Chain A
């Protein structure tokens, strides 16, 4: 059975910031420092921008109804031991986190959502498809989530509550 320090380390890494890539194509934020987020203007719209990012004409915030299933999906993946597919490649220390989940988190541990607090769409931009297909609409969404990890230890039932910020990168097909 794992020790408490290892578990807290794991949770701190896992729940500190989670980046979810619902669609893995054209990951604009692949590098470790910020990218240009062009401000829409007469010049910018005609410029050949690096990374092909284009500003959106109007930001369309994701609603709580949109975000809640995504947060539930993250928690479901956590409980199913399949976080690999939902963590973005740019997630810091991704593989180490996954290893720690396999080696240190109790196999009977379950993560539950206590409540989803503030939700905010931080950024949104279009990324043209390199193959000439439809553009992608990338939304960076922040969600504050109260979670609780539950498992049975030698000392009895353990609850580890926490308030965490999830950072989700949601890629959907842009409207034509």
Chain B
């Protein structure tokens, strides 16, 4: 068992023992005496998680989510390796897997379960640049030939071209498809192939692909030995015609060999068929208009094992979209699918739909954001056993509300008219509402989200009403984070659309404590199902885990943190900047520094002391410095920077970039960034709809500095720079100091 001494990059041996159980752990120690120098040239990082859980159920366990009961344990690990011989000659590797003692949920097998093993050599120094991948790799030629993960080897050569703007790539692939290395059989599902790709700035792109796949016979699946080949040619060309930019893409493929069969194993032997795909995409350069026309045709016997397309299908699709200057986007689609078109009972699906999204009521309420999708779909077959007409409407809206609430509502309506053999008419109506509200409880801050959903299903003279109240809470304080959610779903089927009345209650609780590279957590899931008539089921899961992350920079940083947050730092002189106003500084030291810098006139607001003070002299926007103290020490500092006009995309973007560049100048390159979406004129709506996220973080001694544009419950748009010991996950967008407005 090996771990890594992060401070020195050396490896050592250690084994962690539990009563009656020896579990291999990858652990780190900064002061191990038993260090052995292994792979000193490699950078090594990763994590290890030890998890134990108890699963239980009363009465009928088959009617609950946990079919396996008892005390279950596993340990999982990831190790990343990196080595650089020169600027263009690199190795990298990944090893991940688990030691699964007895957890049926974690893996099918017990003991050591290697899941991902890969080693990649990339050499651009060579006269013939190449990339060699051993172990797990992703093989992607085209949709009609190969797109899947394989365990084996893949090599790519990129010979230089004498023609400017042209490049070539040749890939050779061989490997088996399996989710685990344990029990891997190369004969069970093995693919070997080659692909040539040429990309030319003028001519476009062209690719020729060949894949051979073989599979052993299976008695359980009633299949014979299968061997098959698929050969394809694909191309793409960009065009400019008049005011329009166009892209034409096509692929044609020929399949020969065996597949599973349509009526028994023998019917799939020695077959051949073709697949075709053609697509025209375009957009206007003067109007906010785009469109796409697409045709697909795949024969009944066109069944390449690694392809993602569906055999025996013919389809035509037309899509078009228009972006209004208000930010509202409308898209339409016409689709015609023919499944089983080479059989005597072809299934036809015709869909006509439209989607409207963006600030739907901008003229009345600018901060309401929504999405409306509606379609009509007719499905029928030759024999008339299937003949349905479906009208579908799905609408959702989001809007900031008074008193720190953000509300969401969805409406779903569906009318299924079945004139086929089953005659299963069904009318579904569903309305759900929920809202986020910022709360503070015992020093914890977070969000509470109550919600309610009502659904009715009507079928002839019978109907069902489902009522589903929900409540979710997420809270955090320093290293502590917890989430809870509760849901009660009462399915009242007194006239029985689909069986007994059923009440289902679920409660989930998740607590996590983070200390440097360690995360300790507890998760609880409770499930209760009460059918009437019928036997009720209670099931639960309680698990605890410990995650240890290791890498050299992290350990180095952690070592600095120990000193930085020590008592000696409390009395150190404070600099009035965002890095200097670090958590752990004493009230006296902070006050003295503020006085010396001429910062005065602080007012108390929602637990913060707030100063109107331009910390960035070059940023001509309103700036407020907010400081939060706890037990005589600075707990959090923040600079709030307002925008001039959030409707002016360029102004917002420039200001944001200006501040970000200043922080990079002062703090260096960020440790983490999390960005989603792009700046637009509808910035406020995009933020509230979580289509736009901007978070940049720097790990600094004693904590983290975060800069970004947080989503706020009152809909206000502003930048914030916060310095704290830790933050919620980057994906959590509600991290603003809500109390300071």
- Across chains A and B, the number of contacting residue pairs, with CB separation under 8 Å, is 240
Q: Does A8 contact B (CB under 8 A)?
A: no
B356-399: which have CB < 8 Å to A? 373, 375, 377, 390, 392, 394, 396
- In-complex Cβ contact of A123 among B116, B138, B504, B696 (8 A): B138
Q: Does B499 contact A (CB under 8 A)?
A: yes
Complex contact A157–B143 (CB within 8 A): no
- In-complex Cβ contact of A112 among B65, B144, B676 (8 A): B65
**A118 and chain B: residue at smallest CB distance:** B115
What 5 A-B pairs come out closest when comparing CB atoms? Answer: A41-B124, A118-B115, A33-B142, A118-B116, A157-B63
- Residues of chain B within 8 A (CB-CB) of A33 are 141-143, 197, 205, 207, 209, 234, 236, 251
Known: A31-B236, A99-B377, A157-B63. A120 touches B88 (CB 8 A): no
12 cross-chain CB contacts under 8 A: A1-B497, A22-B676, A33-B234, A40-B87, A40-B122, A44-B158, A50-B205, A51-B199, A64-B78, A140-B138, A142-B138, A173-B673
Complex contact B47–A64 (CB within 8 A): yes
Q: Does B147 contact A (CB under 8 A)?
A: yes
- Residues of chain A within 8 A (CB-CB) of B64 are 157
- For the complex formed, measure the closest distance between the CB of B582 and the CB atoms of chain A, giving whole angstroms: 23
Known: A25-B678, A63-B47, A107-B455. A34 touches B335 (CB 8 A): no
Most buried by B among A17, A57, A108, A163: A108
Complex contact B167–A16 (CB within 8 A): no
Please give the number of chain A residues whose Cβ is less than 8 angstroms from any Cβ of chain B in the complex: 80
- For the complex formed, measure the closest distance between the CB of B635 and the CB atoms of chain A, giving whole angstroms: 25
Q: Does B94 contact A (CB under 8 A)?
A: yes
Interface SS of chain B: helix, strand, loop or mixed? strand
**A92 and chain B: residue at smallest CB distance:** B308
Which stretch, B129-137, B254-262, B557-565, touches the partner chain A?
B129-137
- For the complex formed, measure the closest distance between the CB of A166 and the CB atoms of chain B, giving whole angstroms: 11
B contact residues vs A (CB 8 Å cutoff): 46-47, 49, 62-65, 67, 76, 78, 80, 82, 84, 87-88, 90, 92, 94, 96-98, 103, 105-107, 115-116, 118, 120, 122-126, 129-131, 136-138, 140-144, 147-149, 156, 158, 160, 165, 167, 169, 171, 179-180, 195, 197, 199-201, 205, 207, 209, 234, 236, 247, 249, 251, 277, 279, 308-310, 317, 333, 335, 337, 349, 351, 353, 373, 375, 377, 390, 392, 394, 396, 410, 412, 414, 416, 424, 426, 428, 430, 455, 457, 466, 489, 491, 497-499, 502, 504, 529, 531, 534, 537, 547, 549, 653, 657, 664, 669-670, 673-678, 696, 729, 731
Report Cα–Cα, A34/B502, bound state, in Å: 49
Complex contact B88–A41 (CB within 8 A): yes
Known: A1-B497, A63-B549. A99 touches B351 (CB 8 A): yes
Known: A92-B143, A107-B430, A144-B179. A41 touches B549 (CB 8 A): no
Report Cα–Cα, A40/B90, bound state, in Å: 10
Complex contact A152–B502 (CB within 8 A): yes
A contact residues vs B (CB 8 Å cutoff): 1, 16-17, 22-25, 31-44, 47-51, 55, 57-59, 61, 63-65, 69, 73, 81-82, 84, 92-93, 95-96, 99, 102-103, 107-108, 112, 114-115, 117-123, 133, 140, 142, 144, 146, 148, 150, 152-157, 159, 163, 165, 167, 172-176
- Residues of chain B within 8 A (CB-CB) of A173 are 673-675, 696
- For the complex formed, measure the closest distance between the CB of B265 and the CB atoms of chain A, giving whole angstroms: 21
Complex contact B96–A119 (CB within 8 A): yes
